[in-house]
Amino acid sequence: MAEQTKQPLQHPVTTAIQAKRAESLQTRIADAITAFAGSMKFVYLHAVVFGVWMLVIEKSPWPTLTLVVSLEAIFLSTFVMIGQNRQADFQQAKADHDFVEQELELKSNTEITRTIHTLTTELHRRIIDEPDGTPAS
């Protein structure tokens, strides 16, 4: 018998956002760059490249390296802002979804409470007002 793999449950907003991200080539590229720039591989690669650059390629005062690092900082800060904007959009969509779900649950709970109150009132009327089964006069 083939073993079924259970997919972890995800919030509906997470599923929708992942599907939306997968549709856009630009978003997939930005996600890949952000994932790499936020990794230790990125740090190690830069340490090696900058070390080689400072020791082998340029001696002093490293004007080209300064230009490269400045441009890279501009692009990386842009990717950080893109990531923050996407995270904010996700949090807002999740909050909106959760609000709707909570309102529906509140409505259901209110209806259940009213039904229980009606049933309790009817039972009370039948048991207290008519203990022997005869209508109260």
24-80 pLDDT, tens digit each: 788 888 888 888 888 889 888 988 988 888 888 887 767 888 888 898 898 888 888
- Answering whether pTM is above 0.85, one says no
pLDDT value, residue 33:
85
**pLDDT band (50, 70, 90) for residue 91:** confident
- Domain for residue 126, yes or no? no
**CA end-to-end span of the chain, whole Å?**
70
Structural domain containing residue 25: 13-98
pLDDT for 17 beyond 80:
no
- Domain for residue 40, yes or no? yes
Domain count, the chain: 1
| Residue with more model confidence, 4 or 35 | 35
- Domain for residue 76, yes or no? yes
- Domain for residue 85, yes or no? yes
Q: Are 136 and 130 in contact (CB under 8 A)?
A: yes
Return the ∠ at Cα 75 (arms to 72 and 80), rounded to 5°. 120
- Domain for residue 8, yes or no? no
pLDDT value, residue 1:
45
Would you state the structure tokens that stand for residue 93, as one six-digit string? 């969509």
pLDDT for 9 beyond 80:
no
| Residue with more model confidence, 122 or 85 | 122
Which residues lie closer than 8 Å to 82 by C-beta, 6 or more apart?
30, 34
**Cis status of the peptide bond prior to 8, with omega within 30 of 0:** no
Outline where 1-128 has alpha helix (H): 12-23, 25-37, 40-52, 63-124
- Domain for residue 45, yes or no? yes
pLDDT value, residue 111:
97
- Domain for residue 7, yes or no? no
- Domain for residue 109, yes or no? no
